Structure 1
């Protein structure tokens, strides 16, 4: 303890008391440190009624398969909206759908209007999909198309 044994003993004692009190205080739970559980981000409900998050592909036309999204690259997916770039693969149904040709169109996909999913009330799902064609688009389509999504 060197030439000042009393001063050293007082410092060591104070340090020990401080450490003990901090250990007791940090062991007690605090309302500020208890994490709140955040609800999961909304899902996209597919044709088979399965919840999806950031899917690589999505079937728009469940009945006949004549419109689908592919190569989806999600830039955003949160509680308010989801945004991806991808390709809309659409059948031109010329001369009729079974004999038609599928064409690819670059799109920006936006999902929004989250709401409670009736089938799974603990989950929210997006209720609207907007496709914005960034170059060519199917004949007769506007540059942006909105689709209501099923529940």
Structure 2
């Protein structure tokens, strides 16, 4: 199975095999997940809502809720990375963000770069990368 990359994810999504393709990549050790799953869960900070593990919704732009991934099904959750799939909804802000509509598309989301969580002994993922049919983007999580 090819490693997880923007090109591979977009190709898998176009052919409808995104879940099987990514799961196979992880099982083969070729991509996102090489973390020890026997360790404690990494905590993801979700704003609003506080710290959560395996959240079903992540606000990528929490200030205006302009980019949200919902209905997340986590296929892997480790100490160094996590990935799953869901639906990304992005405001189109036409003619304005308040009056405009939104676009929803199926995506794969990966979480990486865990850091110490405010000295409380836990860790939180600090980066989310979203892969969709039209490309990918990465967001720093706070």
CA deviation after TM superposition for structure 1 residue 124, in Å:
0.4
Maintained 8 Å contact 2:43/2:122 = yes
SS at match of 1:48: coil
Asked if residue 129 in structure 1 is aligned to residue 125 in structure 2, the reply is: no
2:141: which partner in 1? 149
SS of 1:111's equivalent in the other structure is: strand
Separation (CA, whole Å) in 2 of partners of 1:67 and 1:146: 12
- Alpha-carbon RMSD across the aligned residues, in angstroms, is 1.6
Rg larger for:
1
SS in 2 for 1:100: coil
Q: What is aligned with 1:43?
A: 43
How many residues are treated as equivalent by the alignment? 105
2:113 aligned residue: 113
Unaligned runs of 5+ in 1: 1-37, 138-142
CA–CA distance in structure 1, aligned partners of residues 115 and 64 of structure 2: 27
User: C-alpha displacement at 1:40, in angstroms?
Assistant: 2.1
1:100 aligns to what?
A: 100
- Find the residue that maps to 1:99 and give its secondary structure: coil
Q: Deviations over 1:18-49 (max 9, x none)?
A: xxxxxxxxxxxxxxxxxxxx752211101136
1:112-134 residue CA offsets vs partner (Å, 9 max, x unmatched): 1111011x52110001110011x
2:100 & 2:141 partners in 1: Cα distance?
26
List structure 1 runs of 4+ shifted beyond 6 angstroms.
none
**Structure 1 residues 53, 126: CA separation in 2 closer, same or farther (over 3 Å shift)?**
same
Bigger RCO (CA 8 Å, 6+ sep): 2
Match in the other structure for 2:80: 80
